[in-house]
Structures are given as C-alpha cells and as structure tokens.
Structure 1
Amino acid sequence: MNQVPDILHIDDQIIVINKPAGLLSVPGLYNKDCAYARLQAVHGELHIIHRLDMDTSGILVYARNKAALTAVQQQFEKQTTRKVYEALLIGKLKGNRGCVNLPICVDWPNRPLQKICHVDGRYALTRWQRLEQTEDFTRVELYPQTGRSHQLRLHMLSIGHPIIGDPFYAPDSAKENPRLMLHARELDFNHPSSGERLAFVLPAPF
C-alpha cells in the first residue's frame, strides 16, 4: 500500500498534510496515484480545495465535506489566505525584494507548460524577498497573490532566475538536482466551522 503523506492537522472538517515532492496532489490523466487518493482510501470523503505541482513539496489542505470545501475555497478565491513559499533560484538575484506582475496562460502546443501572454494570459502576481545568496544560488521567500498553474516557476524564470531543479523551465539544473527546490512553507486560513485563524509552518527540506 502506498504511504499516506504526513498529516499536520486533522478534524471532522479538514485534513492538512505535508505533500512530498514527486507526488501528485490530485489524480492525473494517466497516473491516479496521488495524495488525494491515498488520503481518501484511509479517511473517506475528501474534496480538493487547491493543489501543488507534483514537483513542489509542502502544505496542502483538503476538505472533508462540501460545506468545508466551499468555506475554504472561497478564502483562496478572495485571496484572504496567506501563502509563503521558499525556493532556491539559479544565480545571484539583484535586489532584496521585488514584484512580478505578468499574465499566464497554457502553452497549448507544449502542455503542461505555461507561458507569459499579455493577450490571453490571466492576471498573476508574485512578490519575492531575498533570504540568502551565494555565487551560485539565491534563496527567496515567495508570496503569490494569485494561484496560477506554474506561476512561481514561470515568474522566477521571467526575471532570469529559474528555480533550481525545475524539469520544465530549467532542465539542465534538473539533471543535477533530484527535486524542484520549491516548497509551500506557510499557509494561514480560517477554519471552515469555528472561524479560528489557523497558521501552519513547515520548514523547507532543502
């Protein structure tokens, strides 16, 4: 039996997990093994609130009933959640903080890749702050205001510093690194029934 991801919090409304890199959040077209399926097999009814890319690790929350799904999903849509990611970027990033505001859409001929597109793209905003730097890499905190597919990966690529280990947007670095160096480190949202503000922190494993 496939291993169930580590559970950070569980009650009758939600399950919050540490999704490992390399595991899908939800079933794929050809691969049905995912965090959702593994949890559902053990805990029963489960609903998908949001997702992380297969290559990304970190905090992921599922709802255990439809009311909880609606309550938490609306927080993501209204951007009242707080999300912090940590990443290692290729090269030396100039400046201490910045913002990337570039629209994103599917790169249809090259799916599942996404691309920056000012004609068909959807609004996407990412703020970043530098944490650490060497000659070879920069460690940053990323604060996505929106949740577009591959948003953080593509926005960092757009400023000339793709995320280390990215098989799509930095394939040469992926050959040398066993995983994408991107981690969903912090997530805050209101509990769907009590309204209590929940704050989860999961340090980056790299």
Structure 2
Amino acid sequence: MKIHEFKSEEQGVRIDKWLAEQASDWSRSLVQQWIQDGFVKVNGEITKSNYKIKQDDHVIIDEPPVKELEAEPEELNLDIVYEDSDVLVVNKPRGMVVHPAPGHPSGTLVNGLLAHCNDLSGINGVLRPGIVHRIDKDTSGLLMVAKNDLAHESLVNQLKAKTTKRRYIAIVSGVIPHDKGSIDAPIGRDPDDRQKMTVTEHHGRDAVTHFQVLERFEKYTHIACELETGRTHQIRAHMKYIGFPIVSDPKYGPRKKHDFPIVGQALHAEMLGFVHPRTEEELMFHAPIPEDLKECLIVAKNSH
C-alpha cells in the first residue's frame, strides 16, 4: 500500500472532489471507491464522499494496490522496425491501444509483443511489460520497448534526462504565422473533464514542445513537433492551447465537422532516437507517413 498525506488549505469543498484534484491520475470515481472501501481518513477517522473539507484537516489515504490481470499473448501482425536481445522498436498502427486496460483487454500492442517475444521485460507490471513510454491509441508511429531490466532502466533514464529524440508529424487547424516556436506550459488533468489534459498551473507538470512549420495551406498547417518532455496528450493539449488544434482530434480538435479521411487525430510519431543500453551506439529510426495521413495532407492542400 502507498500512503498519501495531505493538509487542507481550503474549506467547504467535498472531499472526493478535493482529493481528485491532488493528483493528475486520480479520477473522482476512483477516490469515491477508496472512500467507500475505508481507505481515506480525515483527522484519524474514516470519512464519507460528501464530507466537506475544513482548513487544516489532516487527510491520509492508504492507496490499495492495483489488481492487475495477466496480459495474454496474441498473434498480431506487428511492424517491427528494429530488434535485438535488449530492445525492440515497433511502428504502431493508428487505432491500436498500447497496453490492456478496462474496455481494451485484448488486441493491444502488449498482447502482440508477448506473442512475438518470449523474453520481454517484466518490469512495469504484468499489463505493461517492457513498455517505457506510450503513444495514444489513435496516434500512429514509433515506440521503443525494453526486453530486459538493464534496457528498461537505461531507456527510462534517457527519457527522464530528455536525451531521447522524438519527432511527430501533424496537421493542425489554422495557419501558423511563424516558422517555428516552443511551447513551455505545464500540463495537468482537466478539472472539468478527467479524460482530458489541459495547460494549468494547478498540479500541472512541466511540459515543453518544439514545433516547426513544414507547409502552409489556406486553412491548415503541416508541422513537425519534437518533445522535450512526454506528458499525456502533450502535443494535442499544447497545440490546442496556442489556438492551432490537431485536425480530427476527438478530444482537443475543433468542434466543426471536417472531411479528413482519418479516425482520430492527424498525428504520427515519425522519428525516434536513443542510445543503445548495452552498446551505447546512437540509434535513430524513422517511420514513413501512413497512407491515411497522406490523404489528409491532400485534403488540407485542396481545402478552400
């Protein structure tokens, strides 16, 4: 069990709402379940969800361990870009979930990897073996996977040190006037919609995205983005924040319907670079722009 302690500086807010705002990956329903199961105490007493927090309340959560199911191996047609005894690089298709979760128990990248490799790193839990970073279900492109503990530790440390190279290709709504720029704005869970992230100082984590214009059209812009950090939905939330949301993005895109032949956001992880955990060789990989994104570029070019 993990123990979390808080001292309230607010008052009059329901405790389930208040606690859900204390960490970006806690939903209100999760907090309510913890309260119902007796894992939350206020000033030493088990509380209820409708309790209203008072100033200087001492709140303790005994966070229960997550019950994880084993991911089952499945024969899937994976696009393996590179593989050796330590690491694997895969080009994930749009529409594929990275690891099993409620609602997606099978058909995920992890299911396919377990069938492809018999030596996948067990670190990161039984539902995320070998996974050191992920890309959204409806984003296509390159992911690195660790096949042993040494590789896992090295790749995670490279991500933390911001030395990995990650370049994405996107089409955004609107015409960006400047050729390149950087977005340095903290990202956290959107308090009004727990399924979304937003730029916020309140519990936001540092997030930096660099972008460069590749081509301008009458209503859209074709851009490349490089990540300095890897927050959830980072590029999608950042581009919305500066007023140029990614087209066809169901969460962050414009509400207006469009005619792009793509399911999900027009975003592709085109380049991935890192230092090999064992040989220390610098590796760089590229994934060609998929056909659906090429078709979107044609639509963008011809939009008037």
- Tell me the TM-score normalised to structure 2 length: 0.65
Q: Do structure 1's residue 36 and structure 2's residue 119 form an aligned pair?
A: no
Offset of 1:43 from its aligned partner? 1.1
Query: Which of residues 87, 95, 118 in structure 2 aligns to 1:22?
Result: 95
Distance 2:217 2:172 in 1: 11
Aligned letter for 2:272? L
- Secondary structure of the 1:111 match is strand
- Secondary structure of the 2:251 match is coil
1:92 is aligned to 175
| RMSD over aligned Cα atoms | 1.6
- Secondary structure of the 1:106 match is strand
Q: Do structure 1's residue 49 and structure 2's residue 132 form an aligned pair?
A: yes
CA contact (8 A) 1:133 1:139 kept: yes
Give a deviation string over 1:107-152, Cα, whole Å, max 9, x none. 2552221111112101101111100011121001101110000010
CA contact (8 A) 1:82 1:189 kept: yes
Query: Which of residues 136, 139, 144 in structure 1 aligns to 2:227?
Result: 144
- Written as runs of structure 1 = structure 2, the 5 A alignment for 1:159-170 is 159-170=242-253
**Where do 5+ consecutive residues of structure 1 fail to align?**
none
Aligned letter for 1:110? D
2:37 is aligned to none
- Written as runs of structure 1 = structure 2, the 5 A alignment for 1:1-206 is 3-33=76-106, 34-46=108-120, 47-170=130-253, 172=255, 176-177=259-260, 178-179=262-263, 180-205=265-290, 206=293
Q: For the pair shown, which has the larger CA radius of gyration, 1 or 2?
A: 2
- Tell me the TM-score normalised to structure 1 length: 0.94
Give the number of equivalent residue pairs. Answer: 206
Offset of 1:162 from its aligned partner? 0.4
Offset of 1:74 from its aligned partner? 0.7
Aligned letter for 2:84? D
Aligned letter for 1:204? I
Question: If each structure's strand is expressed as a fraction of its own residues, which one has the higher value?
Answer: 1
- Secondary structure of the 1:169 match is coil
Aligned letter for 1:186? M
Higher relative contact order (CA 8 A, sep 6+): 1
Offset of 1:55 from its aligned partner? 1.1
- Secondary structure of the 2:76 match is coil
Distance 1:76 1:159 in 2: 25
Aligned letter for 2:113? L
Aligned letter for 2:112? R
- Pair 149,189 (structure 1): closer, same or farther in 2 beyond 3 Å: same
After superposing on structure 2, the runs of 4+ consecutive aligned residues of structure 1 that deviate more than 3 Å are 171-177
CA contact (8 A) 1:24 1:54 kept: yes
Offset of 1:29 from its aligned partner? 2.4
Give a deviation string over 1:151-177, Cα, whole Å, max 9, x none. 100110011110011010116467643
